[in-house]
Amino acid sequence: MTTTAGPAAPTDEVRDLVARRVPGHTLEAPFYTSEAVYEADLSAVWSRTWLFVAHEAEVREPGDFVTVDVGPSSVIVLRDDDGVVRGLRNVCRHRGARVLTEREGSVGNLVCGYHRWTYAVDGSLLHAGDQAPDFDKGCWSLRQVHVRLVAGLVFVCLAADPPDDVDDLVATVSPYLLPHALHRTKVAAQVDLVEEANWKLVMENNRECYHCEGSHPELTCTFFPTWGIAPDRVPPRLRVAHERYLAAEAALERTCDERGLPYAEVEALEAERRTAFRVQREALDGAGESYTTDGSLAVRRLLGDLDVPRLGRASVHTQPNGWYHALSDHVVTFSVLPLGPTRTLVRTTWLVHEDAVEGEDYDVDALTLVWRVTNEQDSALVARAQAGVTDPGYVPGPYAPSERQVETFTAWYVARMQEHLAP
Amino acid sequence: MTTTAGPAAPTDEVRDLVARRVPGHTLEAPFYTSEAVYEADLSAVWSRTWLFVAHEAEVREPGDFVTVDVGPSSVIVLRDDDGVVRGLRNVCRHRGARVLTEREGSVGNLVCGYHRWTYAVDGSLLHAGDQAPDFDKGCWSLRQVHVRLVAGLVFVCLAADPPDDVDDLVATVSPYLLPHALHRTKVAAQVDLVEEANWKLVMENNRECYHCEGSHPELTCTFFPTWGIAPDRVPPRLRVAHERYLAAEAALERTCDERGLPYAEVEALEAERRTAFRVQREALDGAGESYTTDGSLAVRRLLGDLDVPRLGRASVHTQPNGWYHALSDHVVTFSVLPLGPTRTLVRTTWLVHEDAVEGEDYDVDALTLVWRVTNEQDSALVARAQAGVTDPGYVPGPYAPSERQVETFTAWYVARMQEHLAP
Amino acid sequence: MTTTAGPAAPTDEVRDLVARRVPGHTLEAPFYTSEAVYEADLSAVWSRTWLFVAHEAEVREPGDFVTVDVGPSSVIVLRDDDGVVRGLRNVCRHRGARVLTEREGSVGNLVCGYHRWTYAVDGSLLHAGDQAPDFDKGCWSLRQVHVRLVAGLVFVCLAADPPDDVDDLVATVSPYLLPHALHRTKVAAQVDLVEEANWKLVMENNRECYHCEGSHPELTCTFFPTWGIAPDRVPPRLRVAHERYLAAEAALERTCDERGLPYAEVEALEAERRTAFRVQREALDGAGESYTTDGSLAVRRLLGDLDVPRLGRASVHTQPNGWYHALSDHVVTFSVLPLGPTRTLVRTTWLVHEDAVEGEDYDVDALTLVWRVTNEQDSALVARAQAGVTDPGYVPGPYAPSERQVETFTAWYVARMQEHLAP
């Protein structure tokens, strides 16, 4: 059988760049600007690691589907007739047309609109008109994409052999998220924001709060601005916030202990892990209940069987493309998807209890306010960084101590590139 | 004299792709997406073979011209003072400016708007201001482009030595078209449609009617949906249509025999022909007269000296870029022109008798309806195919038996690439 | 310390193109169209030679700044607390963000909006939050850009070792401009025009008036159309204009001699000069005073201490990117800045006496009319040339004798490329 040409071979340029990387400093410019590096990223990261792309709540019934673009690849996430969430390449096996052109919907079978080739929801080819007697339908099923579920979050991997350390992610993170019962949620809102920056700048921006002060007035009503700063390095002007943080943490731990909820920080971000992640339950500032401008609940109906609003945020981060906050009243998730060397999609989804009633239990504008404006503020910041690193006057600079997780992200990324480039 | 840099040398990537081609299957993705292949296409196909670009009816009088973009090349097609249709490169010999910037018009001489260099309609330089005494005007004529006429259709070839098998095209196709007297027509309408796909997907789409059912309701009022299907393979649901087709064919043959009109299928599509083509007169469904939603005439005035409306369609196809239907009341032609690796212009022209009066003998909307909407439907289909073949999840798929002419097109294209890449 | 990847190495293609250059003819197409040549231009010309980018009048007070994009490089031009005009790379040393995002303004310190790193107006780092004790602020100043002033015109050079033949420019040109007292002017108007052409076509267009007749009706009210034509080659139809020119020149020389103003032509355009220029005071047609449609003053207040309106134009040209006209009542300058292989910014600035009052001493529309429309006419002409040289049908053509300065520009450019490509 014919095979497609693979992606462009990693060029010597990319190899040299990776070899030259100096820990503790930002990456060199081509990592954020060059087409060759972007192609290598698609191979090394986006085609090999587990990616967060959707929620089970988006495909509740058999036949429900969403289509997600991971760079140039379109993936169909759908629930099959046995209730299993599957991933399929959204490419007809006949002449390559897109099978589904909608962003979401519900189908009985999958019918390509070009020549009516018809596939079952498990991807098998049911019908292709006008074929010779020796045509073997069994050879032309839609190509499968691996799927893994983490307490209601849908991860896919485009590789033939996905990294199996995803088991650690499932085992470790699930206990933090399960009390929020994502299986019994619905999507209250979903916002796609196109940021004018390389995907790595988007991720790096998310891994530090060094920029929060002055940039994120709405977020820092509840998000402690000391995030990422070692306790012994908190600057004098943040001392008061830090005291509040310590008190709120102590209260949160008592609440969690009473209910058996895990809250400890688990950091599994080592560069050698292909499925790297971090999880921790942390207190919020203000009323401490939710992401609102005073910290009080955004949704009257609590998630799952939770019986107390003040549970802070169970925050998860997964390399390379997701972060998540589970609160007592809603879950907000962020999926980062590359659109090109200097354009990136950030998809933000707010989930609430499936029985919560809009206009009664919650107001969408109020629910989404904090992260809508925070995302827009971040979008302006990363565009400013993208403009600067594109300048021939740019040279890599030093990370501050509170940017430790940015360094961790960068080191993880470089390890993936090294694996990809290894002979 | 200086020479321009030639187009980029064919890369090893293109060579490998061509060598790897598996007959009976769609081409690998880079044929539809890569810049390197597109550059090779411009050299191998668009700069070496005969291309359909205009009609004599567009340049009726001496000085009349149209300008046509063939990829990055602009060609002036004009009638000179001796009534000969000529082709000229639309590039001033002084500093390279476009000589003509209009799409069509009429001129006495050709005056470049930059420094007023003035050329005769045969391309010779008549005047260039402020020159040294040894300046030789004879060296700086506009560059000629070869032109060949086929019963009123204008073909050009950008090569220095155009393929001479164009003689077969002229000799074989002219008898089918001459009764429609394209010399005595005028342009009733011309529509340019930009399709978001590689030019080869546009051509492949045109070479099969496997997709017609369900996609082209207006066209299949008169275009038999059995087109391309071998008689012994017509599926049960199309049996009735096939019976109608056979009856209509028998009637058409009688009509043609009485008038000495040729109708036999002539297929000269072998890959080794540089000027490959196909011609056949075929019956239409419904009233059988014209491309309308009931098959009745769109124009009251018949073409040339035709005396009967029910003449079906004399349909011609020429590699790499044209197809044509001559009916008793009008001729509709399609010229495919590449705009880039993934954008293609389809120019559709409707010709009617020069004495037909708009609003009286024909209505432009009714005349153009079937192919206007069919083109738009096809445009959506090929965009869908382009999106899919760009996906890393795409692998070449198998042509169905009724896609035989798609395979023929692809084989012809691959032969041109092999010629171009030969040492 | 890490270093950025340099610009792409000059390809063999560029080397061959430069080696093949035939004097007396336009450049081959890739010089105007290819990405590789554009990258080489950025290195060979835009990163190595002195560039005209602003006026002292734009940064009058300490803290005043303008930001200028030179290709992908953003340069801050600002006046420091000692009154010195400085150039700084507009890239934060932390994570590369743009420090200033405004086109112009006034600051006390330079504060990056991302993580609040704060620099003094001399570029030194004053403050960076949350750093380890061994963080050395002295290592992270904004990078300096060399600045040179020519009688109020601001030139920058991005190279570490700028060409020192800029001294000749300063010494030779200053006496022509100083009487116009640019230090005591203000900006009356500034217009940015994006032209759809390679920067070299924009410069070449400016270096000849062979195209003026018929193209620039407003300009040729006062700009003698014989510019660039050797006296013994003036064509009959321009004989009358030439007689007027000779008479006006004689009168101008008397006026200048009485006041000690230099007017002689000095041409320092040899290809081996890195800072090449030309200066001459020349008469204007009509009233001979200013660039208006009848040649009379556009501004009632004369510049500096000038006491006579009829001073023609002190016209300066500097390679690679500026031309300038100093008149008795205003100065108009043109800064050409590349935006990409086929897009170029032309920034035109009109300066008037700092005490001239808009609406009273001058009308902005009347002041700017001639060059606004002339620029737009030129923009259409160079776009037409760009379209033509992109055509595979283009071959280099011969310069006319009156295009001598175009050849001089091209030779200078080729010399820069040769230097850049030398082993």
HSE-up (13 A, CA, CB side) for residue C288: 19
Query: What's the mean per-residue pLDDT of chain C?
Result: 95
Neighbours, chain C (3 or more CB pairs < 8 A): A, B
User: Smallest Cβ distance to C384: which of B72, B97, B130?
Assistant: B97
Q: Where residue C227 falls among pLDDT bands split at 50, 70, 90?
A: confident
- Enumerate residues 6+ apart whose C-beta is below 8 A from C283: C224, C245, C248, C249, C251, C252, C312
Question: Following DSSP, what letter does each residue of C200-261 receive, concatenated?
Answer: HHHHHHHT--TTTTTT-TTGGGTS-TTTTS-GGG--GGGHHHHHHHHHHHHHHHHHHHHHT-
HSE value, Cβ hemisphere, 13 Å, CA-based, for C272? 0
pLDDT for B3 beyond 60: no
Q: Which residue of A has its CA nearest to C128?
A: A400
Give how far A11 is from chain B: nearest CA, Å. Answer: 14
User: Which residues from A are below 8 Å from C101, CB to CB?
Assistant: 384
CB contacts of A28 in chain C (<8 Å) are 2-5
Are A341 and A41 within 8 A, CB to CB? no
pLDDT > 90? residue B228 = no
Mutation for A interface: C68, C92, C95, most A CBs within 10 A: C95
C318: nearest Cα among C36, C15, C50: C50
Mean pLDDT of B222-230: 85
- Using alpha carbons, select from A129, A92, A91 the residue that is nearest to residue B400: A129
The CATH number of C175-421 is 3.90.380.10
Burial class (CB in 10 A: 0-12, 13-18, 19+), C254: exposed
Inter-chain residue contact C402 with B95, CB threshold 8 Å: no
pLDDT value for B256: 97
Mean per-residue pLDDT, B12-39: 95
Gyration radius of chain A over CA positions: 22
Q: Which one of B95, B118, B125, B142 would you mutate to disrupt binding with C, by most C Cβ within 10 Å of its Cβ?
A: B95
Task: Tell me which DSSP letter residue B358 carries.
Answer: B
Residues (pLDDT < 70) of chain A are 1-10
Q: Whose structure tokens read 């004790």?
A: C133
Residue B82 is encoded by which pair of tokens?
């001796």
Q: Do C3 and A395 touch (CB under 8 A)?
A: yes
Q: Could you count the other beta carbons within 10 Å of the beta carbon of residue C82?
A: 9
Whether residue C44 has pLDDT greater than 70: yes
- Give the per-residue pLDDT at A10: 55
Backbone phi, psi, residue C32, to 5°: -105, -10
> What pLDDT, on the 0 to 100 scale, is given for residue C10?
56
The pLDDT-based confidence of C11 (bands split at 50, 70, 90) is confident
The alpha-carbon gap from A158 to the nearest alpha carbon of chain B, in Å, equals: 9
Q: Name the closest residue on chain B to residue C234, using Cα atoms.
A: B130
Q: What is the DSSP secondary structure assignment for residue C406, as one 8-state letter?
A: H
Res B11: pLDDT: 76
A217-266 tens-digit pLDDT: 999 899 988 888 888 888 888 899 899 999 999 999 999 999 999 999 99
Q: What is the DSSP string of A274-321?
A: SS-EEEEEE--STTSSSSSSSS--SBSSPSTT---S---EEEEEETTT
CB contact under 8 A, B114 and C398: no
pLDDT, tens only, A317-343 = 999 999 999 999 999 999 999 999 999
Residue B187 has phi, psi (to 5 degrees) of -80, 115
Q: Mean pLDDT in chain A? A: 95
Does the distance separating the beta carbons of B13 and A2 come in below 8 Å? Answer: no
Q: How far is CA C309 from the centre of its chain?
A: 25
Give the CA distances from residue C391 to residues A53, B101, C24, C46, C223, in Å, rounded to whole numbers and listed in that order. 45, 13, 21, 27, 33
Q: Please, what sign has the CA dihedral across residues B201, B207, B209, B210?
A: negative
Instruction: State whether the Cα torsion C417-C419-C420-C423 is positive or negative.
Output: positive
Cα B132-B137-B142 angle, rounded to 5 deg: 135
Domain ranges within chain B, ordered by starting residue? 51-162, 175-421
CA–CA dist B332, B324 (Å, integer): 6
Residue numbers in A near C115 (CB within 8 A): 210-211, 400
- The Cα of B307 is separated from the nearest Cα of chain C by a number of Å equal to 46
Tokens (6 digits) for B152? 């009123």
C30 chain-B contacts, CB cut-off 8 A: 5
Q: Which residues in chain C have Cβ-Cβ distances shorter than 8 Å to B46?
A: none
- pLDDT value for B316: 98
Helices (H) and strands (E) in chain A, counts: 8, 17
Nearest to B2 among C25, C229, C385 (CB): C25
Q: For residue B1, is pLDDT > 60? A: no
Structure pTM? 0.94
- B51-162 is classed in which CATH architecture? 3-layer Sandwich (2.102)
- In chain B, whose CA is at the least distance from the CA of C398? B94
Please say whether the beta carbons of B221 and B54 come within 8 A.
Answer: no
Nearest to B384 among A1, A5, A114 (CB): A114
Res. C366: pLDDT tops 50: yes
Q: B362 has which bridge partners? A: B299, B358
| pLDDT of res. B10 | 55
Rounded to an integer, the average pLDDT of C182-208 is: 98
Q: Do domains C51-162 and C175-421 have the same CATH topology?
A: no
Q: Which two tokens stand for residue A405?
A: 């997780």
Provide, as residue numbers in chain A, all residues whose Cβ is less than 8 Å from the Cβ of B400: 94, 115, 128-131
